[in-house]
Structure 1
Amino acid sequence: MPVLLLATLINAFGNGAYLTTSVLFLTTVAGLSPAMIAIGLSAGAAAGVLAMTPLGYVADRYGPKRLSMLSMVVLAGAYTGLLAVHSVVPFALLSCLIAVATAMVKGANGALAAGGVPPGQRLAMRARMRTMSNAGIGLGTLAGSVPLLVHHDLAYVVVLLVNAATFLVAAVLLTRAPAVAPQVTPAGGPRLVALRDRPFLAFAALDGLLSSTYNDLLAIGLPLWLATGAHAPLWLISVALVINTAGCVLLQVRMTRGVHDLAAAGRSALRGSVVIALACGVFAATAGRAPWTAGALIVVAAVVHVLGELWLSTGSWGILFELAPPWAQGQYQGTYFAGRGLGDMVAPPLITACVLGLHAGGWLVLGLFFATGGLLYRPLTRWAGAQGSLSVPEAPLSTSR
C-alpha cells in the first residue's frame, strides 16, 4: 500500500525532528525540570504498555484504518497541547494521552499492513514500512538540527507544530488507503486471546527485550563506552548511527527474501542474535587499543551490528505474522509492541550496568545475552506450533460487538 508507506515516511519525519529538539523544548519553552520530564515520560510509557493489547483488540473489532486516522488526529492535538504545558501534572497527562494514541497507531497500522496485502507479502510490507520509518527519522533528525543551531524558543515551537501537522497529513493520506474489514472473534472464546497465548507472550517478552537492547547498544552503550573505556573520538557515535540508518534503509527489504514460514523466521532471528553477539565482541576488542585501531573496530562493529539487527527484526516480524490469527492481528501487534515497551524499561539499566560496571567484560556479557536469547527463538516457535497458536479455533464466528 503506497499510501501507508508515504504516511509512515511523513509521520516519521515529524517524529525525528521533534525528538531531536524535544528536551530543549520541554526545558526552555515549557520550563520543565529534568525530573518533571522523567516523571511524565515514565507515566506515558506505563500507560502505553497497558493500552497496547486492548487497543489492538479495538482496531480488530472496528477496523484499523479509521482507528489509525482517529489516533493521528488525537496525536496532532496532544502535541499541540504541549504548548500550554508548564507543570508536571498536565505534562504527565498529555504524555499518557500521546503514549496511548501512539499505541493505537502502532497496533492499527500493523493490522492495516497485515490485512491490506496477501499473507505472502506481509513481511515485505513490514520491511518497507520500517525502511520508510528509518528514512523519515533520519531526514527529520537532520531538519531538527537546524533549530539546535538557531537555539531560539520559536524554532523549537515550529518543530513541535510541524510534528503535529505531519500527523494530520498522514491521517488525510490514510483516507485513500484500502479499508481492512472489522474482524470477529470465535464464539465463546476470550476477547483478548493474545494475553492467553502463552507461547506468544513468551516470544513477545523475549523479542521485546532483545530488540530494545540492540537498539540501545548504539544509542546508550557506545556513547558510554567511548566516554569511559575506548580511546576513540566521540564523533564515532554519529558514524555508527549513520551506518545503522543507511543499512536499514538500503537492506531491510532484501533481508526478507527467503523468509516464508515460521521455521525460516526462527532461523533468521537466531542468525541475527548471533551476529549482534559478534558485534558486542568487536566492541569489547576496542579496549586498550590505539585511537585509530579502536575507531576502525567500532566501524566494523557498527556494520556487523546492523546486519544482525536486520536479520533479527525480519525474523521477529515473520514469527509475529505466523503466530497471529487472521482475526486478531491488531491485538497481537499490540501485545508485541507491549513486549517492546517492557524491553525499553529494562535495556537502558542493563546496558549501563554492563558497560560502566564490567567495562570490556560487560560487552562480552551482552554478547552472551544475545547468543543465549537467540537460541530460544526456535524452541519457542516449536512450542507455539505444539500449542496450536498458529491455527484459528474451529468455532462459529460471532458478529457481536
Structure 2
Amino acid sequence: MNRTSRILMFATLVNTFGNGAYLTTSALLLTRYVGLTVGQVAVGLSAGALVGMVLSTPMGYVVDRLGPKRIYVAALLASAVCYAGLARVEGVWGFAAIACLIAVGDATAKAANGALIAAAVPPAERVRTRAYWRSTNNAGIALGTLAGGIPLALDSRAGYLVVLVGNAASFLIAAVLVGRIERPAVVPAPVGGPRMVALRDRPFMGFALVDGLAAALYNEMVSLALPLWLVRYTHAPVALVSAALLVNTIGCVTLQVWASRGTATAADAIPVGRRGALVVAGACVLFGLTEHRASWLVGALVVLAALVHLLGELWLSTATSAVVFGLAPDWAQGQYQAAQQTGRQIGNLAAPPLLIALVIGLGAPGWLGLALIFAAVAWAGPALVRRGLRLRRPELSDALA
C-alpha cells in the first residue's frame, strides 16, 4: 500500500473504534441521560436516514468537483461537532437535526474515502486496497464495541459521556490524519455533460439497488433474523448468535483481502458476485434446516451456516467494490460511490421487514424464499454489470471505453 492508503487505514481504525463504542452505548445514552424517549430517537434516526439517502449522491458530486481530501476532512470535522453536540441536545427536533447532519456527513465521508482510493491507487490495486479498508473498518468497530461494554457495565452518565466525547475526538483525529494526505488533482468533468451522471446510469443504479438489498439482507440475517428464529423455531440457546457473529467478525477482518485476490475490474466481479450470492443462498438453506432439530445439531448447523454465509459475504463485497470502481468514470468516482451507498440505504429500509415476514412469518419455507432471493441476485447482479459494460461510452472516461 502507498502512503495515502496507509493513512486512510489508520484514520479509519481510529474513527471506527470511536464509532463502535458509541453505537454500543447510544441507545441508553440518548434515552436515559440525554432525556429522549424511544419514539423520539426513532423519529430522529428515521429522519437522518431519509435525508442521508436523498443527499448522498449530490454530496458525492461535491466530492468530485471540490476534491475528495478537502470534503473528507470537512465531513469528519462536521461529524465531530455534531456528536459533541448530542450532549446538549434538547427535544426531538434538535436531535433530528443533528441526526440528519450526521447521516449526511457519514455518506459524504464514505464517498470521499472511495474517491480518494480511486485517485491515489492504480486501477489494478483499488479493490485490494478497499479490502484492506473494509478489514480495518470491521476491526475498529469490533474493538470499539468491546470497549463500549465498559460504560454499559458501569451504567453511569459520566461513562456514557466519555464515550460520546471520545467518539467526537476520533473524528477530529481522523480529520487531522486525512489532512496529511497529498491533495489529489481534481479530474475535470466533460463540458456540457449531465451533473448527476450516476443517477442517469440505469444499469449501475439497478446494480446499486440489487446490491443494496442483498447487502442489507446478509448483514441483518445473523444479527436480526437468526436470534428471532432460534427463539421461535428451535430449542437451542440464543447464545449461538454470539458464535455466529464471532465467526463473521473474525472472518471479515482476516479474510477480506484474501477474498479480493484476482478481482480488479467490473468484468472480474461478474463470476465472483454470482458465486457469492449462490453461497449465501446455501447458507439460508442451512439455517432453515435447524427447525425443530436437536440442540446439538442446531449448533453444528448454525456454525456451518455462519461459515458459508461469511464466504458469500466476502465475495459479494469484493464484487461490489470492483463494480463501483470499474463502472465509474474517474471524474465521477465520488458520486458513484455515493449512489452505491444510496442503494445500501434503501436496502437497509427494506431488509428488516422482509426478513421478519419471511423467516419468522413462514418458518423454514421463509429461509428457502430468502435463498431464492439470493439466487435471483446471482442472476440480476451480473446481468446488470454486463449491460453496464456494454453501454460504457468512450466520452465518459478512458476507463469505461
TM over 0.5: yes
CA distance in 1, matches of 2:260, 2:287: 27
Corresponding position of 2:87: 83
Say whether 1:30 aligns with 2:29.
Answer: no
The amino acid across from 1:375 in the alignment is W
1:198 aligns with 2:202: yes
Does the 8 Å contact 2:44/2:97 carry over to 1? yes
Q: Does 1:358 align with 2:362?
A: yes
> What SS does the corresponding residue of 2:396 show, helix, strand or coil?
coil
Q: CA deviation at 1:392?
A: 4.0
Which residue does 2:396 correspond to in 1?
A: 393
More divergent stretch after superposition (310-319 vs 259-268): 259-268
1:236 aligns with 2:230: no
| In structure 2, distance between residues paired with 1:24 and 1:139 | 19
Q: How does 1:267-282 map onto structure 2 within 5 Å?
A: 267-282=271-286
Distance in 1 of aligned mates of 2:102 and 2:82:
6
Give the Cα separation in 2 of the matches to 1:369 and 1:149.
40
Q: Give the percent of matched residue pairs that are identical in Structure 1 and Structure 2.
A: 50
Paired with 2:131 and 2:397, the residues of 1 have a C-alpha distance of 32
Separation (CA, whole Å) in 1 of partners of 2:238 and 2:397: 58
Partner of residue 226 from structure 1, selected from 205, 208, 230: 230
Amino acid at match of 2:139: A
Q: Which residue of 1 aligns with 2:265?
A: 261
What amino acid sits opposite 2:30 in the alignment? L
299-308 or 262-271, larger mean C-alpha shift: 262-271
C-alpha distance after superposition, 1:176-228 (max 9, x if no partner) = 22322222110110011111111111011110111111100011111111121
Residues 1:179 and 2:172 are matched in the alignment: no
Q: State the distance in 2 between where 1:276 and 1:356 align.
A: 19
2:9 to 2, 5, 10: 5
Structure 2, unmatched stretches of 5+, are none
- CA 1:394–1:370 in 2, change beyond 3 Å: closer, same or farther? closer
How far residue 260 of structure 1 moved from its aligned partner, in angstroms, is 2.8
SS at 2:237 equivalent: coil
Once the 2 structures are TM-superposed, how far is the Cα of residue 111 of structure 1 from its aligned partner?
0.3
- Count, aligned residues: 394
Aligned ranges 1:62-211 → 2 under 5 Å:
62-211=66-215
- Provide, for residues 281-311 of structure 1, a one-character-per-residue CA deviation record: whole Å limited to 9, x for no partner: 0000000111111011101111111100000
> CA distance change for structure 1 residues 392 and 216 in 2, over 3 Å: closer, same or farther?
farther
RMSD of aligned Cα (Å): 1.2
Deviation at 1:386, TM superposition (A): 2.1
Cα distance in 1 for partners of 2:231, 2:390 equals 48
Residue 379 in 1 paired to residue 383 in 2?
A: yes
Alignment check: 8 A CA contact 1:41 1:92 kept: yes
Change (3 A) 1:109 1:394: closer
Task: Give the partner amino acid of 1:95.
Answer: A
Matched, 1:325 2:325: no
3-state DSSP of counterpart to 1:91: helix
From 307, 312, 317, the counterpart of 1:313: 317
Specify the SS of the correspondent of 2:191.
Answer: coil
CA distance in structure 2 between the aligned counterparts of 1:347 and 1:108, rounded to whole angstroms: 26
CA distance in 1, matches of 2:244, 2:226: 9
Contact 1:7 1:170 in 2 (8 A): yes
Pairwise CA distance, 1:360: 1.3
- In structure 2, what is the Cα distance between the partners aligned to 1:262 and 1:43? 34
For the pair 1:20 / 2:20, whether they are aligned, the reply is: no
The answer to whether the 8 Å contact 2:139/2:253 transfers is yes
**C-alpha separation between the residues in 2 aligned to 1:269 and 1:310?**
10
Partner of 1:348 in structure 2?
352
How much does 1:394 deviate? 7.5
Given residue 73 of structure 1, which amino acid in structure 2 is its aligned partner? L
Distance 2:395 2:310 in 1: 35
Name the SS of the counterpart of 1:253 in structure 2. helix
Give secondary structure in 2 for the equivalent of 1:276.
helix
Is contact 2:135–2:252 with CA below 8 Å preserved after alignment? yes
Q: Give 3-state SS (helix, strand or coil) of 1:376's partner.
A: helix
Q: Which runs of 4+ in 1 moved over 2 A?
A: 260-263, 391-395
Q: 1:167 deviation in Å?
A: 0.2
Q: Is the 8 A contact 1:144 1:159 kept in 2?
A: yes
Q: Structure 1: any 5+ residue segments left out of the alignment? A: 396-401
Q: Is the Cα–Cα contact under 8 Å of residues 11 and 170 in structure 1 kept in the other structure?
A: yes
Correspondence for 1:398: none
CA contact (8 A) 2:276 2:314 kept: yes
Distance 1:110 1:275 in 2: 27
Alignment-mate amino acid for residue 261 of structure 2: R
Residues 325, 392 of structure 1: 8 Å contact kept: no
Q: Which one-letter code corresponds to 2:396 in the other structure?
A: P
The aligned residue for residue 399 of structure 1 is none
